[in-house]
Structure 1
Amino acid sequence: MSESGFDLGLDDPSRAGVYFATNEDLRTLGMAARDAGLLARSIDLRDCKTKATLLLRLSSALDTPPGSGRNWDALSDQLRDLSWLPASGYALLFDDASDLRDADETSFDTLLDILQEAANDWAGREIPFWAFLALAEAEFEASN
């Protein structure tokens, strides 16, 4: 059992990937990620409506090295590297992801693809990489 009482198996790279959650779940997931020895970073997507804003917020949350590019290729490279943030694994927690999805579905879908590619790449190195994107709780209730 972990310090927080939540053992979600987040240290298992074969289970890692991109998942949807609610904003309320992100706090618990963040605690569980830290208990599993992962580096957890929060990315606030509230009122994020463009690719440029998304890339800026990601760059800030990940503390990317100076001179790093701000485009999809650079993001893909950065998420598969993270050498400036050494850790035994990673968990990215995206608050209010539905704001970006509703404003720019193309950028949202591209982000999902890049995150999944990064998770697959890290899993090949036996390192867990998780991305949790928070959607409104009503969206989960509607799918039941």
Structure 2
Amino acid sequence: MINPFADAPQGVQAAPHDVRLVAAGYQVAVREVDFGAVRDKETLMLAFLSGLGLTQNFGRNWDALYDVLTDPGQRPARFALMLCDYARFRRRTAGLARELEGVLCDAQKDAAGQGRALWLLAEEPESDTKHW
């Protein structure tokens, strides 16, 4: 069984099948972001707005996303982002995916510097599961 919570987060990792059950055992909060309808930066930001339960005040840009993910007042100290339908998103919009991964990995490093943990977990069909 894949268990990313046993180690420090590192980049985008494959999600375990029962992510919420496994996360609960490690006291990790999980939120899902669905990439199924993402076609451009605007729909990407809407996916994060919905998945993270953000208000309409969310800036819908890279800096705002980074700030939301690294703000200790908005996220638990042990937090996982479940990236649903992520492999298809990466194939569909490779350039946008590279930009997003840069922001997510920077936020992950910033969280680690604060003594916090931010896991980036890609939920995929079994045949697509891998470590990025």
Deviation string for 1:26-61 (max 9, x for gaps)?
A: 442332122211110011111322211111111111
Say if 1:10 and 1:128, in contact at 8 Å, map to a contact too.
no
Structure 1 unpaired stretches of 5+: 1-5
Report deviation, 1:131: 0.5
- The runs of at least 4 aligned residues of structure 1 exceeding 6 Å deviation read none
Normalised by the size of structure 2, how large is the TM-score? 0.82
Which residue in 2 is equivalent to 1:128?
A: 117
More divergent stretch after superposition (30-39 vs 104-113): 30-39
Question: Residue 129 of structure 1: SS of its match in structure 2?
Answer: strand
Which residue in 2 is equivalent to 1:19?
A: 12
Which residue in 2 is equivalent to 1:10?
A: 5
Which residue in 2 is equivalent to 1:63?
A: 53
How many residue pairs align between the two structures?
Answer: 130
- Percent of paired sites with the same residue: 25
| 1:105 to 1:125, Cα distance in 2 relative to 1, 3 A | same
Structure 2 unpaired stretches of 5+: none
Question: Residue 5 of structure 2: SS of its match in structure 1?
Answer: coil
Question: Residue 41 of structure 1: SS of its match in structure 2?
Answer: strand
Normalised by the size of structure 1, how large is the TM-score? 0.76
Matching of residues 65-84 of structure 1 within 5 Å:
65-81=55-71, 83-84=73-74
